[in-house]
């Protein structure tokens, strides 16, 4: 059945006031009075949003959909992330990647997991490669992976400034970025090089040297974890002003760690007049979050969760930040960088990916590709191995 969503306080992500949406299949086909006029017609299921805030589904551009970890032995490998963990957090589009373990976990596994999430109703893509050089691929070539494999949109997360990286040379980074860029042109995909930033002494210098010494367009280079340290935030601002898209990680908040909380990081970026279209926030969901001492010894371990993305957005909205200033970092900005033209906004012709929020910004309903995954705080659609009975907070 077609679905009429009436009386939506629509943020697309700009504030567009009260509106009505008609969904057919996976797509928004009508808006406004034209949509409302069809209420009561055969084959249309009507749902009254009663003036609640309706936002685009969140686009999580960095998640370990097959699970991360492995830094503390095989027992520290994190399981893959279930469908419901994403949809409960309002995430309707996700990009999976490999991290430290790009040996046992593979690009092939990522592609299959992305396709599984697609079959379960989410929208999912992935990167080829991982922390190390040469990047692990499925076909033996970065360009072939991006050009020939539907789900692969770029390379990542390649690690720099981290003791776990393979310490790539400037020429290796330039070559990999070039492969990603050219493949993106050939396949009309993003072709980005998604760069993991660690706590190393070089900070973002490797990225700046690539910009200085090559003709690689700045938009190809996307550093993530820019809020890992306050100093990286300053460098990220410079990178964004030079044309890079930079990504904040919604780490679990812990006062004992040096990272800048994601909500604070985004607020600081916007207040300092960072380019508004070149910033995103991602969850690192399913990723292992280890903390090492100065000798490289592991002293604590945590796991990234998709709901950290939602919690960050809620914190910003509850602090009084206007929705139209913060929502792009969670929706249209990553969608535009990743060349996902039907994601990140709510308009005719866009995919019907949306989240309905209560007055306190708690999630009430989630629709992905035209299907209700959550209604009235209850999960309706489940992953193949999920158990019914979950509720949103």
Q: What is the CATH number of the domain that holds 364?
A: 2.30.40.10
Residues in binding site for Zn(2+): 62, 64, 196, 225, 284
Length of the chain: 393
Q: Torsion over CA of 16, 19, 20 and 23, rounded to 10 degrees?
A: 0
In a domain, 393, yes or no: no
In a domain, 247, yes or no: yes
Looking at the structure, do residues 235 and 200 belong to the same domain, yes or no?
yes
Residue 128's domain comprises 57-337
Looking at the structure, do residues 185 and 284 belong to the same domain, yes or no?
yes
Per-residue model confidence (pLDDT) at position 71: 64
Per-residue model confidence (pLDDT) at position 291: 59
Q: pLDDT 10s digit of each residue in the chain, 393 long?
A: 899 999 999 999 999 999 999 999 999 999 999 999 999 888 999 999 999 999 999 999 999 999 987 666 777 778 889 999 999 999 999 999 999 999 999 999 999 999 999 999 999 999 999 999 999 999 999 999 999 999 999 999 999 999 889 999 999 999 999 999 999 999 999 999 999 999 899 999 999 999 999 999 999 999 999 999 999 999 999 999 999 999 999 988 776 677 899 999 999 999 999 999 999 999 999 877 655 556 666 565 667 799 999 999 999 999 999 999 999 999 999 999 999 999 999 999 999 999 999 999 999 999 999 999 999 999 999 999 997 766 665
How many structural domains are present in the chain?
A: 2
Residues in binding site: 62, 64, 196, 225, 284
Tokens 């100093």 sit at which residue? 231
Per-residue model confidence (pLDDT) at position 287: 78
Looking at the structure, do residues 202 and 264 belong to the same domain, yes or no?
yes
Looking at the structure, do residues 155 and 30 belong to the same domain, yes or no?
no
Say how many C-beta atoms besides its own lie within 10 A of residue 93's C-beta: 28
In a domain, 323, yes or no: yes
Of the candidates 337, 364, 388, which is a domain's last residue?
337
In a domain, 386, yes or no: no
Is 82 known to be catalytic? no
Per-residue model confidence (pLDDT) at position 298: 57
Looking at the structure, do residues 201 and 267 belong to the same domain, yes or no?
yes
In a domain, 390, yes or no: no
Q: What is the DSSP letter of 252?
A: P
Reading the block at residue 95, the tokens are: 């990009």
Looking at the structure, do residues 180 and 119 belong to the same domain, yes or no?
yes
CA distances from 136 to 126, 127, 141 (A): 13, 10, 9
Task: Write the burial class of residue 386 (CB in 10 Å: 0-12 exposed, 13-18 middle, 19+ buried).
Answer: middle
Looking at the structure, do residues 80 and 16 belong to the same domain, yes or no?
no
Given 82, 259, 284, 353, which residue is catalytic? 284
Looking at the structure, do residues 75 and 29 belong to the same domain, yes or no?
no
CA distances from 25 to 1, 211, 351 (A): 8, 44, 9
Q: What is the CATH number of the domain that holds 107?
A: 3.20.20.140
Looking at the structure, do residues 43 and 141 belong to the same domain, yes or no?
no
Give the angle 36-41-47 at the CA atoms, nearest 5°.
55
Please, are residues 236 and 223 in contact by the beta-carbon 8 Å criterion? yes
User: Does residue 140 sit in helix, strand or coil?
Assistant: coil
């Amino acid at each position: 059945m077609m679905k009429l969503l009436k009386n939506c306080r629509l943020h697309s992500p700009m504030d567009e006031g009260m509106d009505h949406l008609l969904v057919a299949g996976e797509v928004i086909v009508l808006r406004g009075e034209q949509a409302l006029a069809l209420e009561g017609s055969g084959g249309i299921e009507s749902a009254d949003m009663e003036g609640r805030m309706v936002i685009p589904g969140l686009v999580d551009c960095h998640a370990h959909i097959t699970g991360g970890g492995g830094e503390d032995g095989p027992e520290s490998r994190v399981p893959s992330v279930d469908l419901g963990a994403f949809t409960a957090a309002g995430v309707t589009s996700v990009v999976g990647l490999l991290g430290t373990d790009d040996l046992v976990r593979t690009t092939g596994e990522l592609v299959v997991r992305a396709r599984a999430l697609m079959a379960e109703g989410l929208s999912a893509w992935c990167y080829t490669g991982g922390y190390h050089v040469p990047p692990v691929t499925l076909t033996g070539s970065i360009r072939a992976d991006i050009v020939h494999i539907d789900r692969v949109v770029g390379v990542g997360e390649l690690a720099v400034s981290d003791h776990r990286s393979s310490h790539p040379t400037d020429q290796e980074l330039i070559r990999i970025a070039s492969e990603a860029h050219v493949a993106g042109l050939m396949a009309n995909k993003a072709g980005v090089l998604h760069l993991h930033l660690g706590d190393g002494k070089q900070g973002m210098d490797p990225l700046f040297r690539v910009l200085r010494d090559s003709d690689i367009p700045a938009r190809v280079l996307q550093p993530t974890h820019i809020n890992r340290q306050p100093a990286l935030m300053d460098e990220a601002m410079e990178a964004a002003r030079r044309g890079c898209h930079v990504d904040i990680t919604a780490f679990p908040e812990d006062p004992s760690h040096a990272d800048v909380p994601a909500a604070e990081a985004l607020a600081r970026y916007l207040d300092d007049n960072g380019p508004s279209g070149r910033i995103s926030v991602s969850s690192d969901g399913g990723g292992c979050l280890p903390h090492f001492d100065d000798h490289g010894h592991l002293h604590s371990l945590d796991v990234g969760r998709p709901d950290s993305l939602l919690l960050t957005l809620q914190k910003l909205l509850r602090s009084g930040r206007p929705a139209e200033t913060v929502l792009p970092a969670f929706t249209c900005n990553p969608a535009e960088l990743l060349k996902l033209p039907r994601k990140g906004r709510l308009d005719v012709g866009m995919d019907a990916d949306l989240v309905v929020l209560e007055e306190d910004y708690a999630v009430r309903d989630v629709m992905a590709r035209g299907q209700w995954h959550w209604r009235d705080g209850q999960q309706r659609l489940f992953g193949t191995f999920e158990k019914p009975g979950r509720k949103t907070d």
